[in-house]
A and B are shown apart, each in its own frame.
Chain A
Amino acid sequence: MMGFYFAQLLTGLANASSLFLIASGLSIIFGVTRVVNFAHGSLYMLGAYIAYSLVTTLPGVFGFWTGVILAAVATAFIGAAIEILILRRIYHSPELFQLVATFGVVLIVQDAALAIWGSEDLLGPRAPLLDRAVRIFGEPIPEYDLALIVIGPVVLGLIWLLFQRTRWGILVRAATQDREMVGALGVNQHVLFTSTFMVGSFLAGLGGALQVPRESVNLLMDLNIIGQAFVVVVIGGMGSVTGAFVAAVIISVANAFGVLVWPQISLILPFLVMAVVLIVRPYGLFGTPASAHGASVPEAPLRAMPPAGIAVAAIVAVGAALLPLADDGFLLVLGIDLLVAMLFAASLHLLMGVGGMVSFGHAAYFGLGAYAAALAVKSLGLPMLPAMLLGPVAAAFGAMVFGWFCVRLSGVYLAMLTLAAAQILWGITFQWQSVTGGDDGILGVWPARWASDRAVYFYIALALCGAGLLIIRRIAHSPFGYVLRGGRDSALRAEAIGIDLKAHQWLGFILAGALAGVAGSVFVFSKGSVFPDTLAIGHSVDGLIMVLLGGVQSLLGPLFGAAAFVLIEDWVMRLDHWRAIFGVIILAIVLLAPDGIAGGVGRLLTLLRLRRPA
């Protein structure tokens, strides 16, 4: 029996090595550049694909390991290209804006990999000489697992040497501690950032390449790994390589033993561990408060809308109200989707733009609203309007519970705790089949008979979402909204003028959750069904992209962002290779408007002399 548990431990440690490699690169990149790199999973996938191509060409033991190293090197150069061509141009954008660009890269890499390597899963060869199992205490252990158990700590040791013994490493550590200081030291920041990105990409590529003997290389690798990689980085503390190692071991070993007791736990285990760690240690195991925030870019004071702006808004509102006249059977569908997306994005913006509390899990409250409304109809038998009311109530309740924990953190750690909360809720809707229908969802949630005409439901959506948007704007200009902005600017000052900031942030969290719940309620009756996807990471990321792409520093930003996202997506999905095209469009917007669409529009108006310079 002892042997069995020991073997289980070894299995966990082997997985930990794999996880550590990808997470360490992510952590280093974040530490120095403060870029939340969604494309890290793509680099990992590219490493695996390139390694597959190389090891199936190069013969023997030498060929295998050469292939692995070359794949990592190639990935490092791809990472450098991404940094030089794209990210370098947007380091001075508002915090987190860079993740929009990395999202564009994810889309492009997905299509590129499909075009180059095809859709079929590729099973590479096992590692030569390490292709069998040895018996330890009578239990079979794959030799390759043992090799991985060695490789992980060796890489950790090499990174440690690099950080301690080289000038470059010292600079990287200094930059991780304090970005401004590096500028003061007269270091060439371009070189430092590019080389950091290369090292991080190299590790991602290495992690991917080393997976070739363990699993088939496939097109879903990127998104399947990225969530866990972030979890490991956050548990360890953003920027801490040792932390990433410890966290990878904790997660992997916990899972290895977890499946023995409760096989379903794998679904949310990493997120559960992360939530607990963050509640106990707000900056992860080895992180520092400095690691929570990127550089902040000052935001201009809020101004009341000028008469011309009010006129434009009125025209847009009237135009929206007249839309049913122009319906061709689909325009209203798109219109409702647009309204839902705008309210969802604006509610997220209230939280992260106005309140400075970035959420990577805002879809949770949208989904709660949608599920509550759906369950109210299907289980409680409520009519549509009361059911729609229950949506935001449930969302507010969820936000109240999770928000209480989240507002105690800040920056990226807060964002990751919101992600964990969303994943836990997602896991519940996914797993609790008797109530939520699990993956089969809840069907048949259509509008009441009186509202079944498309135009009628469009007006309901317009009324609810329009009201939600007006309320958000009103809140942003209200004393409460100013308290949130103030707390974001200087928590110290807020406290020093007698404000209980945490309480206000908590209320802000609840309000934003409730408004996302309204969007969810409108959504569910427009689609007739709801699935766990509505709470999933992907949906949260969509919201994040809308807000950032639109411009996080403007109240109109999320509206621009949502409109651009929904309309471009709807159009582009009609095309072949739409992901690559979508990715290129996003990158183009990002590079043309490094302050988001709202900022770009503002500069355009100034250029055209339609507006006084800010």
Chain B
Amino acid sequence: MLTRRATFRAGIAALALAVTPAAFAPAALAQDGAPIKVGEINSYTRMAAFTEPYKKGWELALEEINAAGGIKGRPIEVLSRDDGGDPATAIRIADELVNRENVSLIFGTFLSNIGLAVSDFANQSQTLFIASEPLTDELIWASGNRYTYRLRPGTHMQAAMLAEQAAKTDAMTWAVIAPNYAYGTDAVEAFKRELTKLKPDVKFVEEQWPPLFNIDAGSTVRALEQSKPDGIFNVTFGGDLAKFVREGSLRGLFDDRVVVSLLSGEPEYLEPLGAEAPEGWIVTGYPGMDVDTPEHTPFAEAYQAKWGEAPKTGSIVGYNSMMTIKALLEKAPNLETETLLTTMEGLRVTAPTGDFLFRPVDNQATMGAWVGKTGIVDGAPVMVDWHYADGEDYLPSEADALKLRPENQ
């Protein structure tokens, strides 16, 4: 019986080896020179337009770090996997990365629900998770946990940046259009809250909630038009945004109106619109090669040299993710999760966007975003009149944030 069991185990192990090309070396064996393994998950096939630049970003940073000798003589090895856009698959992959591949931490994810699923898994399996791209604030507040840190400025921060600009306009009546899911509803709620704080007299007169990537743009545009608002707050993106812009400009929806649009200044969203991109929309985004700070320029040039194209928002988020990991691993005395968590608290990261840190109170990075207007230069859509909005200024105070965390409720 014993021999049979042993044979069985060996057989299964062989099978597992055959299935996984990467041989698995237990962490205990790691020594000087052995790579530090880091897990990465994102929706590469489902959200290709957004995750490709992101991947190029972290690959660039990884190359730079390893070319410079890695971390304390050890290269970083990223085990990157596609989750196909499905939360359950993402958890299965995370499980494999953590429990079979013994990675030291996980980073990545784009879709909010996948970010939340992996964050919950990280909490359960006591593994550090750096959520690179998901915008939902559940990650850091209502469903926040000590194992999850978030890099990119979330829905609340971006909406607050826009509300600040919107308050400076004369628009008093507002219509909103947002995709009908958590991201859309959260963004609208945050914008309403922040704008009303700054300008208590504003009225919200119309709401449109098209299904994600299935907008009936003509009808929606007309419904918005009917309410004759002074301003429009838009949260749609991707294919929906293109349709909305086309139908809206044809029907004159944007004429003489203030339009405030979340993320629409990001090259991922703006570039596909080409010469038809609307002008004068107030947006958050990323001006790409136009940012000429000493921190940013070397990154942008290296990116352009490696990939033959200008960096996009995803690129800088991907790059900053890897820079975060670099800062973390350089500072942490060992790779134990508890050590990593302690090191993450208040960790300061040097990055193309300028230095930022991870707030110990809610695990949110203070990385900011650019706020400006859309415009057309030489037939190509760009951000104009932009400035960098430091994330720190748009986060709730540490005392307020503390109250939002579940462990304090």
Q: A133-B252, A574-B81 are in contact. List 13 more A-B contacts (CB 8 A).
A: A8-B222, A142-B250, A216-B242, A224-B239, A266-B209, A322-B5, A329-B95, A438-B182, A527-B88, A528-B120, A529-B116, A533-B87, A573-B81
Nearest 10 CB-CB pairings of A with B: A329-B99, A326-B12, A119-B48, A216-B242, A330-B100, A11-B218, A121-B272, A439-B182, A439-B181, A329-B100
Q: Are B274 and A123 in contact (CB under 8 A)?
A: yes
Q: Does A319 touch B at the CB level, under 8 Å? A: yes
Residue A221 contacts which of B112, B119, B239 (CB distance < 8 angstroms)? B239
A428 to chain B, nearest CB (A): 13
Closest B residue, CB atoms, query A318: B8
Contacts of A527 in B (CB 8 A): 87-88, 91-92, 117, 121
76-123 of chain B: CB within 8 A of chain A: 81-82, 84, 86-89, 91-93, 95-96, 98-100, 102, 112-113, 116-117, 119-121, 123
Residue pair A12, B219 in contact (C-beta under 8 Å): yes
CB 8 Å contact bits of A506-533 with B (1 = contact, 0 = none): 0000000000000000010001110101
Q: Which A residue's beta carbon lies closest to that of B181?
A: A439
Interchain CB contact under 8 A, A263 and B207: yes
Do B251 and A133 touch across chains, with their CB atoms under 8 A apart?
Answer: yes
Task: Bits for A3-16, please: 1 = Cβ < 8 Å to B, else 0.
Answer: 01001100110110
Given A119-B49, A330-B96, residue A216 in contact with residue B272 (CB < 8 A): yes
Task: Give which listed residue, B49, B86, B271, contacts A219 with CB less than 8 A.
Answer: B49
B226, A4: Cβ atoms under 8 Å?
yes
Docked pose: A140 CA to B112 CA in angstroms = 37
B304 at the interface (CB under 8 A from A): no
Which chain A residue lies CB-closest to B79?
A: A574
Alpha-carbon gap, A122 to B100, bound state (A): 40
Interface string of B52-64 (1 = CB under 8 A from A): 1000000000000
A177 at the interface (CB under 8 A from B): no
> Could you name 27 residue pairs across A and B whose Cβ atoms are closer than 8 Å?
A7-B222, A114-B45, A114-B48, A120-B271, A121-B242, A122-B272, A123-B272, A133-B251, A216-B239, A218-B238, A252-B216, A259-B219, A260-B223, A263-B207, A263-B223, A267-B209, A322-B8, A329-B100, A333-B99, A430-B181, A433-B185, A444-B123, A446-B124, A527-B91, A529-B87, A573-B81, A574-B81
Give the residues in chain B near A266, CB-CB below 8 Å. Answer: 180, 209-211, 214, 216
Q: What per-residue 1/0 map shows which CB atoms of A251-275 lie under 8 Å from chain B?
A: 0100111011001101100000000
Q: Are A121 and B5 in contact (CB under 8 A)?
A: no
Cβ-defined partner of B45 (8 Å) among A12, A529, A578 = A578
Inter-chain contacts of B181 with A (CB < 8 A): 430, 438-439
Question: A328 on the interface (CB 8 Å rule)?
Answer: yes
Q: Find out whether the CB atom of B88 lies under 8 angstroms from the CB atom of A528.
A: no
Interface residues of A (CB under 8 A from B): 4, 7-8, 11-12, 14-15, 110-111, 114, 119-123, 126, 132-133, 140-142, 145, 214-216, 218-221, 224, 228, 252, 255-257, 259-260, 263-264, 266-267, 319, 322-323, 325-326, 328-331, 333-334, 337, 430-431, 433, 437-441, 443-444, 446, 523, 527-529, 531, 533-534, 538, 570-571, 573-574, 578-579
Q: Are A337 and B92 in contact (CB under 8 A)?
A: yes
Q: Smallest CB–CB gap between A461 and chain B, Å?
A: 14
B276 adjacent to chain A (CB < 8 Å): yes
Contact A263 B239 (CB under 8 A): no
Known: A119-B48, A441-B116. A215 touches B242 (CB 8 A): yes
Contact status B100-A119, CB under 8 Å: no
The reply to whether A328 and B24 form a contact with Cβ atoms under 8 Å apart is: yes
Q: Is B297 an interface residue (CB 8 A)?
A: no
A139 and B183 CA atoms in complex are apart in Å by 33
Identify the closest chain B residue to A1 (Cβ): B226
Q: Bin chain B's interface residue count.
A: 35 or more
Confirm or deny: B220 has a beta carbon within 8 angstroms of a beta carbon on chain A: yes
Q: Which of B119, B121, B216 contacts A15 (CB 8 A)?
A: B216
Contacts of A433 in B (CB 8 A): 182, 185
Docked pose: A111 CA to B45 CA in angstroms: 8
* Cβ-based interface call for B273 (8 A): yes
**B116-135 interface bits toward A, Cβ cutoff 8 Å, 1 = contact, 0 = none:** 11011101100000000000
The distance in angstroms between the C-alpha atoms of A15 and B49, with both chains bound, is: 26
Please, which residues of chain A bring their CB within 8 A of the CB of B100? 328-330
Structural contact, B136 and A440, CB atoms closer than 8 A = yes
Q: Decide: A331 and B120 in contact? CB cutoff 8 A.
A: no
Asked whether A440 lies within 8 Å of B112 as measured between CB atoms, the reply is yes
Does B252 contact A220, Cβ atoms closer than 8 Å? no
Interface residues of B in 174-210 (CB under 8 A from A): 180-183, 185, 207-210
Instruction: Report whether A110 and B45 are in contact in the complex, using a CB–CB cutoff of 8 Å.
Output: yes
Most buried by A among B8, B143, B208, B250: B250
Give Cα A122–Cα B69 distance, bound, in whole angstroms.
41
Contacting residues, chain B, for A121 (C-beta < 8 A):
49, 238-239, 242, 272
Q: Are B84 and A267 in contact (CB under 8 A)?
A: no
Task: Say yes or no for B30: interface residue by CB 8 A criterion.
Answer: no
Q: A216-B239, A334-B92, A528-B91 are in contact. Are A439 and B48 (CB under 8 A)?
A: no
The answer on a CB contact under 8 Å between A120 and B138 is no
Nearest Cβ on chain A to B61's Cβ, whole angstroms = 21
Q: Flag whether B13 is at the interface (Cβ < 8 A).
A: yes
A215 touches B239 (CB 8 A): yes
CB distance from B176 to the nearest CB of A (A): 10
A-chain residues with CB within 8 Å of residue B96 when the two chains form the complex: 329-330, 333
Least distance between A564 CB and chain B CB atoms (Å): 14
B219 touches which of A11, A120, A438 (Cβ 8 Å): A11
